Amino acid sequence: MNKRIAIITERANIALGGAERSVFELAAALSGLGCKVDVLAATGQGSSRNVHVFRPDKRGGRIGYSAFARVLRNHLSKNKYDIIHSVLPFEFADVYQPRGGTYAESILRHAASHGNTFIESYKRLTAFGNLRRAAFLRAERRLARAADGPVIAALSQYVADQFQRHYGADAKRIVVIPNGVKTDRQINTDQADRLRSQILAEARLREADHPVLFLFVANNFRLKGLAPLIRAVSAAARPETERKCCLVVVGRDKTRKYRRLARQLDLRAAGQAIVFLGSVSHIQCALSVANVAVLPTFYDPASRFILEALAAGKPVITTKFNGAADLFVDNRHGKVIDTPENINALAEAIRTFTDTHNIEKASKAIAEDSLKDHITISRAARELMGLYESILQRKGQT
C-alpha cells in the first residue's frame, strides 16, 4: 500500500509523554510498510519534511480546538492525503484514534484518583470550567454520535466500551486495534548494572538479600496509583525469611507526600524498601533489572509501560482501568486488580511475586505465549493498514 497518510496530533514532542511518543513510533512503522506519512501537529519543536508544526512559537503550549481545526483545513485543502488519521476529534478525519481514551472517561477517572468523595464531586462539577477541554469533549461527543463520522480505532476494549457507554456510539463504527510499542530496543548492560547498584545502595540492600524489585513508572503519581501502591507494599510485608520487596519509582512527578507516606508506614521496619529514581533515560534498562512491573492505575487507555514490561518478559500487576490488560491473561502473565483502592488485593498480588517460583512461572508463560509478537507497534501498524484499505475500498479509491 503506497499511500499518503496524515496523522493529526496536538504536540510534536516525544519528551512530553507516551501518547506523543506513540504517534511518532506509529508513523515510523507505517512508513516501514510503504506509506508516506506526514505528522500534522498544533505545537512542537520545529518542523521537518514529514512533520508539520503549525504553531512552533508556542513552545509546547496548547491552542484551542477551533483554531487548530482552521489551520488543519487550510493545510488539507492544499495537500492531498489518501487517509487522514487523527488522535483528536475532528469529523473530517477518516480514522479517530484517541491516545488518551475518551474525554468523558478521563474526566471521571481523574476525579476518582483524588481518593476523596468531596474532591471527586467537585472535580466532576467543575470539569467544564476548562473551556478548551470542554470544546474537545463536545467535539468528541458529536463525532461519536454522527451517523457518518470517522471510524473509531480504539486502543483497547476498555476504550471501545467508553464510546458506547458515554456517547452511545454505534458498535459498527468501532474497531479495536490494541496499542503497540517498539520491542527491539537495545539495552546497555553497563548502564543497567550501574542502575541496579544505585537502586540497591539507596535501598540499603545487598545482592545477598535477593530483593524483588517492583518497578513503577509514571509522570502522574496520583492518577497512576502510587499512594495505594505504597500502602499495599506495606500491607504485603513478609517474615524476614522471605525475599525482601523493594519498590522502585521512576518518573518526573513530585515525591514529597509519597516519601512522607512511606515514612509514616515505616516500610523499612517491615523489611520493605522504596527508592525514588526520578527520570531515567532508558526505561528498558530499568525493566531489565526489575523483576515485576506494577501500575495500579486509576486510568490508562493502554499503558505503554505495561506493554514494554511484557515485551521484556516481566510479570505485570495493573488494574481493570488499564486497557493494556487486553494483551495478557490474568493469573498467567500477571495480575489484574479490580480497583486501585483494593489494597488487600494489590498486596496479595505483590506477595504472589515475592515468590521466585511465581515470577519464573509468569515469565515462562509470557515467552511461551509469544506476547512480544502481539505487543509490537508493527502489529498495530499492520492492523491499521487493513483498516485503511477497507476505508479506501468504501471510497472507491483502492
Tens-digit pLDDT profile for residues 174-194: 999 999 999 988 888 999 999
Which of the four pLDDT bands, split at 50, 70 and 90, describes residue 17? Answer: low
Q: Decide if pLDDT at 130 tops 90.
A: no
Which of the four pLDDT bands, split at 50, 70 and 90, describes residue 151? Answer: very high
Q: Are 255 and 222 in contact (CB under 8 A)?
A: no
Q: Are 94 and 151 in contact (CB under 8 A)?
A: yes
Q: Decide if pLDDT at 304 tops 80.
A: yes
pLDDT the model gives residue 376? 96
pLDDT the model gives residue 398? 58
365 and 386 in a single domain? The answer is: no
277 and 172 in a single domain? The answer is: no
198 and 339 in a single domain? The answer is: yes
173 and 152 in a single domain? The answer is: yes
pLDDT the model gives residue 193? 92
pTM above 0.85, yes or no: yes
Q: At what angle do helices 304-311 and 18-32 cross, to 10 degrees?
A: 60
**What distance in Å separates the CA atoms of residue 89 and residue 98, rounded to the nearest whole number?**
8
Q: At what angle do helices 18-32 and 377-395 cross, to 10 degrees?
A: 70
Taking phi over 0 as left and psi of -120 to 50 as alpha, with beta for the rest, 319 belongs to beta
137 and 168 in a single domain? The answer is: yes
174 and 223 in a single domain? The answer is: no
Mean pLDDT (whole number) for 307-315? 97
What phi and psi values does residue 11 have, to the nearest 5 degrees? -130, 130
Smallest Cα–Cα separation from 148: which of 73, 87, 91, 102? Answer: 91
Q: Are 352 and 292 in contact (CB under 8 A)?
A: no
**What distance in Å separates the CA atoms of residue 341 and residue 298, rounded to the nearest whole number?**
9
**What distance in Å separates the CA atoms of residue 313 and residue 290, rounded to the nearest whole number?**
11
Which of the four pLDDT bands, split at 50, 70 and 90, describes residue 1? Answer: low
Mean pLDDT of the chain: 91
Range of the domain at 279: 189-375
Q: Are 205 and 244 in contact (CB under 8 A)?
A: yes
pLDDT the model gives residue 241? 46
pLDDT the model gives residue 12? 80
Alpha helices in the chain (DSSP H): 18-32, 65-78, 103-112, 117-125, 131-145, 157-167, 189-203, 226-235, 256-265, 283-289, 304-311, 343-352, 356-368, 371-375, 377-395
Write the CATH number for 64: 3.40.50.2000
Q: What is the pLDDT of residues 287-298, one digit of tens each?
A: 999 999 999 999
What phi and psi values does residue 197 have, to the nearest 5 degrees? -60, -40
163 and 210 in a single domain? The answer is: no
**What distance in Å separates the CA atoms of residue 316 and residue 209, rounded to the nearest whole number?**
22
Mean pLDDT (whole number) for 140-145? 96
Q: What is the DSSP letter of 101?
A: -
Mean pLDDT (whole number) for 329-349? 97
**What distance in Å separates the CA atoms of residue 362 and residue 57, rounded to the nearest whole number?**
48
Q: Decide if pLDDT at 271 tops 80.
A: no
**What distance in Å separates the CA atoms of residue 27 and residue 37, rounded to the nearest whole number?**
6
Q: What is the DSSP letter of 253?
A: S
pLDDT the model gives residue 18? 64
pLDDT the model gives residue 59? 55
pLDDT the model gives residue 311? 96
Q: Are 264 and 229 in contact (CB under 8 A)?
A: no
Q: What is the pLDDT of residues 36-85, one digit of tens each?
A: 999 999 888 666 788 988 876 555 567 789 999 999 999 999 999 999 99
Residue bearing cell 507494599: 233
- The cell numbers describing 328, all together, are 495478557
Mean pLDDT (whole number) for 267-289? 87
165 and 198 in a single domain? The answer is: no
119 and 193 in a single domain? The answer is: no
pLDDT the model gives residue 124? 75
**What distance in Å separates the CA atoms of residue 367 and residue 32, rounded to the nearest whole number?**
26
**What distance in Å separates the CA atoms of residue 361 and residue 332, rounded to the nearest whole number?**
8
DSSP H helix total and E strand total for the chain: 15, 13
pLDDT the model gives residue 93? 97
Q: What is the pLDDT of residues 199-253, one digit of tens each?
A: 999 999 988 888 999 999 999 999 999 999 999 999 998 665 467 899 999 999 9
Cα angle: 243, vertex 246, 248; to 5 degrees: 150
25 and 76 in a single domain? The answer is: yes
Which of the four pLDDT bands, split at 50, 70 and 90, describes residue 393? Answer: very high
**What distance in Å separates the CA atoms of residue 342 and residue 383, rounded to the nearest whole number?**
36
Cα angle: 339, vertex 291, 243; to 5 degrees: 95
134 and 89 in a single domain? The answer is: yes
127 and 276 in a single domain? The answer is: no
Q: Are 144 and 163 in contact (CB under 8 A)?
A: yes
How many domains does the structure of the chain reveal? Answer: 2
